[in-house]
Amino acid sequence: MKNRSITVQGTPVGYTTRHDQDYISLTDMVKRFGDETVLYGWLRNRNTVEFLGIWEQINNPDFKPVEFERFKAQAGLNSFSLSPSKWVEATGAIGLYAKSGRGGGTYAHRDIAFEFGSWLSPEFKLYLIKEFQRLKDEEARATSLEWNFQRTLAKVNYRIHTDAIKEHLVPRQLTRTQTATLYASEADLLNVALFGMTAAQWREANPKDGGNMRDAATLEQLVVLSNMESINSVLIHQGIGAPERLGQLNAIAITQMRSLVGMGAVKRLGKANPP
């Protein structure tokens, strides 16, 4: 989890990612309006308890509805009080959580944080949503640039790869059709090493999908494909035959994919155009 921050009407508000979802600091949000007693006042409100319970029932299969009903029956009474930790421990909720240490405090899923923003101030809520969306748009653009860079790299290495084929594998007397067939054969060697099937087999298995198998590739696969194209060109220069290269490339693909997937830093991003 990486802590980041946005500024809403001059107030720094931290947010982080948990379970692949955005969580916003309620502790930071409340600083503009007082201390955390404001947050606890919101939590003891009956409408708040109902909202939290409904959100959990929609998003959390492990939520405990019996405990929720008990809280809802007590909400609004003078004797009723509720803290984030008490709510989470009793109901198994995931919409709220308490974070200790630097940047700690009470965090809530952005749906819940926006609802809390309405309690604090409709104006503050609107600025919070606007600033948060601006930040997410910037992150999306940055991610798109990263993907485009990897795709461009794949195209560059593809040219190096085809040049190596032309220099070392294509007999001078082959026709253009034969040459094209040989290029396709080398492309399918990489396809089989990485995807486990040829382009034709992929189209047969996915008749309703447009494009080709590389259009549907993940960013991880494109990174590995880029590496494999460079490695295959070196193997071609060394005069290694296709069957042996296929075995080596498959082993490399398995190792590199395991490393990238294990990192968790490279995300699946849409579709691409073929090289």
Tell whether 150 and 259 lie within a shared domain: yes
Tell whether 149 and 253 lie within a shared domain: yes
Tell whether 10 and 115 lie within a shared domain: yes
> What is the pLDDT at residue 115?
92
Tell whether 154 and 94 lie within a shared domain: no
Confidence of residue 49 (pLDDT cuts 50, 70, 90): very high
> What is the pLDDT at residue 131?
87
Tell whether 91 and 162 lie within a shared domain: no
The backbone torsions φ and ψ at residue 6, rounded to the nearest 5 degrees and listed phi first, read -125, 160
- For residue 43, give every residue at least 6 positions away whose Cβ sits within 8 Å of its Cβ, in sequence order, or none: 49, 82, 83, 84, 87
- Rounded to two decimals, what is the model's pTM? 0.50
Question: Residue 129: inside a domain, yes or no?
Answer: no
Question: Residue 132: inside a domain, yes or no?
Answer: no
Question: Residue 239: inside a domain, yes or no?
Answer: yes
Question: Residue 238: inside a domain, yes or no?
Answer: yes
Tell whether 161 and 84 lie within a shared domain: no
- What whole-number distance in Å separates Cα of residue 256 and Cα of residue 223? 9
Tell whether 157 and 201 lie within a shared domain: yes
For 86-141, how does the pLDDT look when each residue is reduced to its tens digit (9 = 90+)?
Answer: 999 999 999 999 877 666 789 999 999 999 998 998 898 998 988 888 887 777 77
> What is the pLDDT at residue 227?
86
CA angle 252, 257, 261 (to 5 degrees): 160
Question: Residue 97: inside a domain, yes or no?
Answer: yes
User: Can you give the residue range of the structural domain that contains 225?
Assistant: 143-263
Per-chain mean pLDDT for the chain:
79
Tell whether 103 and 152 lie within a shared domain: no
Neighbours of 191 (CB within 10 A): 21
Tell whether 115 and 27 lie within a shared domain: yes
For 207-249, how does the pLDDT look when each residue is reduced to its tens digit (9 = 90+)?
Answer: 877 677 877 787 778 888 888 888 988 888 888 888 888 888 8
> What is the pLDDT at residue 170?
37
Sequence-ordered alpha helix ranges (H) in 6-121: 26-30, 37-43, 46-59, 65-74, 84-91, 110-120
Q: How many domains does the chain contain in total? A: 2
Tell whether 102 and 10 lie within a shared domain: yes
Question: Residue 247: inside a domain, yes or no?
Answer: yes
Among the three residues 70, 105, 120, which one is the final residue of a domain in this structure?
Answer: 120
Question: Residue 274: inside a domain, yes or no?
Answer: no
Tell whether 149 and 255 lie within a shared domain: yes
